[in-house]
Amino acid sequence: MKQRKRIMPQGDAAMEGTMLDPGGGGGGGGGGGGASLPSDSSDHNAAAAAAAATTTTSESATNGPSINNGRESNDSALQTLSPREMSPKKYEHPALTPYNRRLSKNTQYFETWQHRTSIASSGGGGGTGSNKRGSVVTPSPRKLPSIEKKEKIASLTEENEFLSKEVRVLCKDKSSLAARASQLEDDLSTILAKTHELVHENSNLSSQVDDTRIQICAKDSMMTSLAKAKSILESEKQYLQEDKGFLENQLLEINKKLRETAKRADEAESTVASVVQQIDGLNRNLARMSKNDASFEVQEIVKQMELHSLQACKDMLKKELKKLTATVIKAREEATEAKMVIDNCRADETKFKADVVRLEKALKSASEYSGRLEKQEKLLKSNIELFDARVRSLENELSFVKAERDAAIKAKIQKEAASGGMEAIKASIHILHENAKKGHEQVLALSGLLPELAEDKARSVEVSKTLEMKARELGARSTTVATAAEEQLGKLKEQVEALDSALEEAKDAAEESESKAWQMIGELSSSSPASQASGDHESSGKVDLPAATTYILGLGLLAYSVYISNHA
């Protein structure tokens, strides 16, 4: 029987993931070389198959064709495995999202495998009853599993560098967040100081309002007393006016009586003077007649009697004149006293008028001052209400600032925990790199041991199976670790994308509340008299929160949650 020697290229075997397995040979009347799939091919990945193919190919290339019970050394058929048959679980895993499938490169390989399988099925030959084998399609060269692992390690290294950059950004934002927290503490202390000042000013205004109310009560009592005094003065003025009218009437009557008495006295004096003149004339006539005629003695006696009567009348008239004079003098004295009383009444009236004018002016000024005090009281009440409203709004803003500060403290703690989670992720990636390096070294070491075991075919087959199992275990382990890393990165990206929207909304709400708080604080600082001098400095202390802080905090929280879920 003629023996044939077929040596598969090592690159082709690695590309296709072929495995050499003892199968049915070519007998008389039988078909071409029989091929069989491994029973556990669906439980392993492409990397293990490639490692086994590399081992078998190196053995055949070293020893050449060997005879074993009259059968060819390459009696086992070459079989190309589907990537879905090699690792179906990997394609069924939900973590392989479209942006992660580019890391495995299985999609392109699956398309190439389908194309080559169709060519092999169309061009494969059946035997004619002899030892004739079917034609085997030589696959195109494929990268070694070590190169694929190196590429995976390079991609993981890039991810590690990206995570390191994010960790550095987190550290920078940690310092900025600490500065922001210190600034918030300073703003909180400033707001508390302003609150204390406003409370003190409110107490001072309350004391001023109480003093003003006391003054208003005193002014009201004084106005009441002034009104009573004014009414008393008006009644006294009315009484004085009545007395004045009565005295004026009496004075008019006394003047009338005085004029009548003076008229009668003048008439009596004129009558007495005429009587005296007549008596003197009679006396002269009597003296002249006595000289001429003695008969006139009787007439003289008569004349003397008349004279005596006239003298008696004269004396009586003189007495009456004296009485009238005394009455006139008394009336004049009474008139003088009445004039004095009238003058005093007039002086008192002017004095009372001045007092009334002064009291009216005082009452008017007191009413004006009371109106001003009422206006001031209303203004103070409005200011007190305004200050109360501002104090309440300031308390609300303080609660918002405290909540923001607590959130910043919690974010700081979570950021520190996230940094710890990032360190754990870096450590796991480093361990993954070390495991990949160790697996590559083991594959190289096992590949170096294959030429020494080529003397014994059975031993080489057993060793190849052992190496194949170890390679499969190592490939499955590395694939599991890579799959877990890909799943973790996919979940991390999904959670980061989910948190970005929520954190942007929270950031917008926080910026809106912060702008409102600073607006209220600016209004309070501008309206407060005590804080107008320092309003510009306080308003300039506002620091905007960095836009990337919320994203970094969310990323840190996400890394920490992933770290906790991995170590749970």
Residue 31: pLDDT above 50? no
**C-alpha Rg value of the chain to the nearest Å:** 70
**What's the Cα-to-Cα distance from 483 to each of 90, 91, 100, 544, rounded to whole Å?**
8, 10, 10, 42
Q: Which of 287-301, 400-414, 541-555 has maximum average pLDDT?
A: 400-414
pLDDT tens sequence across 32-79 = 444 333 334 444 444 444 444 444 444 444 444 444 444 444 444 444
Average pLDDT, integer, range 339-366? 78
Which strand (E) or helix (H) includes residue 395?
helix 296-449
pLDDT at 6: 42
Average pLDDT, the chain: 65
pLDDT tens sequence across 460-480 = 566 567 766 776 777 677 677
Class of domain 206-390: mainly alpha
Q: Among 152-166, 265-279, 486-500, name the one with the lowest average pLDDT.
A: 486-500
pLDDT at 511: 67
Split at pLDDT 50, 70, 90, the class of 345 is confident
Question: What HEC string does 19-59 produce?
Answer: CCCCCCCCCCCCCCCCCCCCCCHHHCCHHHHHHHHHHHHHH
Q: Where do the structural domains in the chain lie, given as residue ranges?
A: 206-390
pLDDT at 343: 79
Q: Among 230-239, 294-303, 539-548, name the one with the lowest average pLDDT.
A: 539-548
**What's the Cα-to-Cα distance from 455 to each of 269, 273, 285, 467, rounded to whole Å?**
200, 205, 223, 17
Given a contact cutoff of 8 angstroms between Cβ atoms, the answer to whether 39 and 71 are in contact is no
34 φ/ψ sector (left φ>0, alpha ψ -120 to 50, else beta): beta
pLDDT at 108: 54
pLDDT at 87: 44
Split at pLDDT 50, 70, 90, the class of 130 is very low
